[in-house]
C-alpha cells in the first residue's frame, strides 16, 4: 500500500476518533433547532460520498488494518476485548445498571441515561438488522471477492444458499457493534457535557469500530454507516423522549421477544 493511501486510511481513523460533541446536553438543557434542508442535504450527501469512497477502497483498507493485528502481539490480545464493548449484552448491562442505580438512589438523570441508552440500543439494533437483510453483504472472513459480495435483499432467507454459505456471508453491512458503541457514546456525550466525556466516549466507540475490521468481521464502510445509525438513532430517541413531539418510545421485553413500543399522542 502506498504512503499516500496510508495517509488516507489514517485520516479516516482520525475522523472516527476525533468526532465529539461538547455543546449542552440535549436532554438536560435543550433540543437543537431543526436543521435546515440545506444542512440535511449537505450532511446526507457528504455521508454518501464518504461511504462510496470506502466501498471502493474497503479491501485495501481491510488489508492494511488487519495487517496491524497480524503483525502486533499486543493488538491481537487487546482487539478482542475492545470489540466486545460493542456487544449488545454489554450495552444492555451497562445502561440497565445506570437505570437500576438511578431508581435505587432516586437519581433521575441516571435513570434517564439508562432509559435513553436502552431505547437507543433497541432502535439502532432493529435498524441495523433491517439493513443487513436488505443488503446481504459478505463479511471479510467469508469474502469471495474484494470488498465482499452483495447477495441482495433477503438473500439469507433462501434456505439453500443459507445452509451452503452460513450467516456470515450475508450480514456484514452495516456493523451492529459500531452502531451500538456509537449509540452509547452519543448518549453519554449528550447527558454529561464535560469535553473529556465526549472525547473518551467517541474514542472508545471508534476503537470498537476499528477492532471489527481487525477481527475480520466487518469492512470499514460497514463500521462508518453503523456509526451514523448509532449516532443519529440516539438523537432521534432523545427528541422523541423530550415529549414535545407527542411521540413516545418505550422498550418492551420478555423472555422471548424484545422491541420498542411506539405511541403517538393525537
- Interval 49-84: pLDDT, tens: 999 999 999 999 999 999 999 999 999 999 999 999
* Rounded CA separation 208/36 (Å): 32
- How distant, in Å, are the alpha carbons of 83, 143, 182, 191 from that of 127? 20, 24, 14, 23
Q: What sections of 19-135 are H helices per DSSP?
A: 37-70, 73-83, 88-104, 108-135
Confidence of residue 34 (pLDDT cuts 50, 70, 90): low
**Can you state the angle between helices 195-214 and 37-70, rounded to 10 degrees?**
50
Average pLDDT over residues 174-184: 97
* Rounded CA separation 159/226 (Å): 27
pTM (2 d.p.): 0.84
> What tens digit of pLDDT does each residue of 110-152 get?
999 999 999 999 999 999 999 999 999 999 999 999 999 999 9
Domains, the chain, in order of start with CATH, read 3-264 (1.20.144)
Amino acid at each position: 500500500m502506498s504512503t499516500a493511501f496510508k495517509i488516507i486510511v489514517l485520516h479516516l481513523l482520525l475522523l472516527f476518533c476525533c468526532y465529539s460533541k461538547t455543546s449542552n446536553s440535549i436532554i438536560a438543557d435543550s433540543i437543537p433547532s431543526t436543521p435546515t434542508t440545506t444542512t440535511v442535504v449537505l450532511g446526507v450527501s457528504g455521508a454518501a460520498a464518504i461511504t462510496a469512497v470506502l466501498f471502493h477502497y474497503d479491501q485495501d483498507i481491510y488489508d492494511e488494518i488487519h495487517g496491524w493485528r497480524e503483525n502486533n502481539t499486543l493488538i491481537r490480545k487487546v482487539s478482542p476485548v475492545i470489540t466486545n464493548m460493542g456487544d449488545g449484552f454489554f450495552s444492555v448491562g451497562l445502561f440497565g445498571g445506570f437505570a437500576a442505580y438511578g431508581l435505587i438512589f432516586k437519581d433521575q438523570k441516571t435513570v434517564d441515561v439508562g432509559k435513553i441508552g436502552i431505547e437507543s440500543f433497541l432502535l439502532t439494533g432493529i435498524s441495523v438488522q433491517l439493513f443487513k437483510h436488505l443488503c446481504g453483504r459478505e463479511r471479510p472472513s467469508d469474502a469471495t471477492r474484494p470488498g465482499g459480495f452483495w447477495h441482495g435483499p433477503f438473500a439469507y432467507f433462501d434456505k439453500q444458499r443459507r445452509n451452503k454459505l452460513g450467516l456470515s456471508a450475508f450480514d456484514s453491512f452495516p456493523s451492529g457493534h459500531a452502531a451500538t458503541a456509537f449509540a452509547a457514546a452519543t448518549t453519554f456525550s449528550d447527558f454529561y457535557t464535560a469535553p473529556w466525556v465526549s472525547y473518551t466516549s467517541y474514542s472508545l466507540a471508534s476503537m470498537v469500530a476499528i477492532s471489527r475490521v481487525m477481527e475480520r468481521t466487518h469492512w470499514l464502510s460497514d463500521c462508518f454507516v453503523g456509526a451514523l445509525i448509532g449516532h443519529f438513532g440516539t438523537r432521534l430517541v432523545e427528541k422523541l423522549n423530550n415529549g414535545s413531539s407527542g411521540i413516545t418510545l418505550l422498550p418492551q421485553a420478555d423472555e422471548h421477544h424484545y422491541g420498542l413500543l411506539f405511541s403517538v399522542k393525537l
